[in-house]
Amino acid sequence: MLKISAAESFLSLFMTRDRASAVIGDLVEQRRASLLNILGTGASLFLRSARAQPMRLSLAAGLGGILWLVAGSIADILIRLGFRSHHYGDIYGVISWSIAIPALVGYVIARFTKNQEITGCMGFVIVLAFSTFGEAVTGGYAWTAQFLRSMVGFDFGVPAFILLVSGALTRNRALRRHMTHNC
Amino acid sequence: MIPGEFEQVVMPAILRVGKDAYGVTIRAEIANRTGRQISPGALYTTLDRLEEKDWLSSRMGDPTPERGGRAKRYYEVTASGLKCVSEAQRAFRNLVEGLAIIGASYA
């Protein structure tokens, strides 16, 4: 019951409460209220609404920023525990790529098998993994962060990167153009 | 305006189901008629999009126990949606007319 209520709240992020309730009701009726289905439905709705409403992208940027702060705090704790700076980079490089690479492989497989649920989930994970964990390595150890800097000449931060990747995922040319000029 | 490929599947399915068209029955109708097992995410995003285009309208039903006390959202094809479906059907007929497909000729 708690899981279902949490799922309903999760879906409410992407649609009105009564719509989310109807979707969860449908999944319960079909006995399909699995974590994958709920997350996948949420991710699909997120990507769909992101295409129509740039505000949703701002929400993603905010979430990315929060995760960035969490990752930074973990890094601080690790440093206090005695890890030297190159360890700090190594650890976050490993975390970043160990999430991003499986997600990328999953994304490609899901695209080929045309499984929209997994595609949506993996796309979301890729965005978070590449941007949040990559950028968390503020010393520039992460390949992702270095790549970004070499591409644009300066570090333009997590929010802008999330906006760009989300834009690429939504395949909305006009939105991408808008973000490229405004970030 | 011609609806997208999946939209052309969803709207006739809603028309076929009639007054009882909500997520579960629409999905079942598509599976029965086309053999396609569509994901919930794909269906709900399409239903949302069709509503935004004013091709569908929806209303909430009453809560039922088998759904954990949650209400159903019923969908109906609007007049403009119906027009789009018939235009798409006409375009398809024009395209395949006279072609021998699966051993039969389209009239």
Q: What is the CATH number of the domain that holds B59?
A: 1.10.10.10
Which residue in B106, B81, B84, B104 sits closest to B96, CA to CA?
A: B106
Would you say residue B72 lies in a domain?
A: yes
Name the phi and psi angles at B4, rounded to 5.
-70, 170
| Min Cα–Cα distance to chain A from B2, Å | 19
- Asked if B70 and A115 come within 8 Å (Cβ–Cβ), the reply is no
CA B28 – CA A147 distance, rounded (Å)? 47
Reduce the secondary structure of A52-111 to three states and give it as a string. HCHHHHHHHHHHHHHHHHHHHHHHHHHHHCCCCHHHHHHHHHHHHHHHHHHHHHHHHHHH
Cβ–Cβ of B72/A26 closer than 8 Å?
A: yes
Residue B71 maps to a domain: yes
> Whole-model pTM?
0.56
Residues of B in Cβ contact (< 8 Å) with A28 = 66-68, 70
What CA–CA distance (Å, rounded) separates A54 from A49?
8
Q: Is B52 within 8 Å of chain A by CB?
A: yes
Q: What mean pLDDT is predicted for residues A141-154?
A: 47
Quick one: pLDDT band at residue A21, thresholds 50, 70, 90? confident
Handedness of CA A131, A137, A142, A146 (dihedral sign): positive
Phi, psi of B71 (to 5 degrees): -85, 160
Assigned domain for B63 exists: yes
CA max distance for chain B: 52
pLDDT at A5: 74
Using DSSP, state whether B49 is helix, strand or coil.
helix
Give A74→chain B minimum CA distance, Å.
Answer: 34
> How are beta strands B56-64 and B100-101 bridged, if at all?
unpaired
B22 contacts chain A (CB < 8 A): yes
**What pLDDT is attached to residue A159?**
47
Q: Is the ipTM of this complex over 0.85?
A: no
Range of the domain at B61: 7-93
Q: Does residue B106 form part of some domain?
A: no
Contacts B20 to A, Cβ<8 Å? none
* Confidence at residue B54, expressed as pLDDT on a 0 to 100 scale: 92
> Residue B67: inside a domain, yes or no?
yes
Query: Per the domain annotation, does B101 fall within a domain?
Result: no
What total number of domains does chain B contain? 1
Residue of chain A whose alpha carbon sits nearest to that of B46 = A48
B16 vs A106: which has the higher pLDDT: B16
Among the partner residues A25, A37, A45, nearest to B70 by beta-carbon distance = A25
Q: How far is the C-alpha of A99 from the C-alpha of A124, rounded, in Å?
A: 12
User: Could you report the per-residue pLDDT of A74-132, keeping only the tens digit for each?
Assistant: 655 666 666 655 544 455 555 555 555 555 665 566 556 555 545 555 555 555 555 55
Residue tagged 């995760």 (tokens): A67
Distances (CA, A) of A38 to A42, A142, B83: 6, 32, 34
Residues of A in Cβ contact (< 8 Å) with B22: 22, 26
Q: Do A22 and B23 touch (CB under 8 A)?
A: yes
Q: How far is A17 from chain B (nearest CA, A)?
A: 11
Give the count of alpha carbons within 13 A of A12, CB side only. Answer: 9
Tell me B3's DSSP state. Answer: P
| Res. B86 pLDDT band, cuts 50 70 90 | very high
Residue type, B65: P
**Residue of A106, A86, A92, A105 whose CA lies nearest to A134:** A92
Higher pLDDT, residue B82 or A90: B82
Mean pLDDT for the stretch of residues A154-182: 47
Which of A159, A180, A169 lies closest to A51 in space, CA to CA?
Answer: A169
Contact call for residues A103 and A119 (beta carbons, < 8 A):
no
Average pLDDT, chain B: 87
For chain A, the domains span 54-182
Look at A117 and B41 and tell me if their CB atoms are within 8 Å: yes
Residue pair A24/A7 in contact (Cβ under 8 Å)? The answer is yes
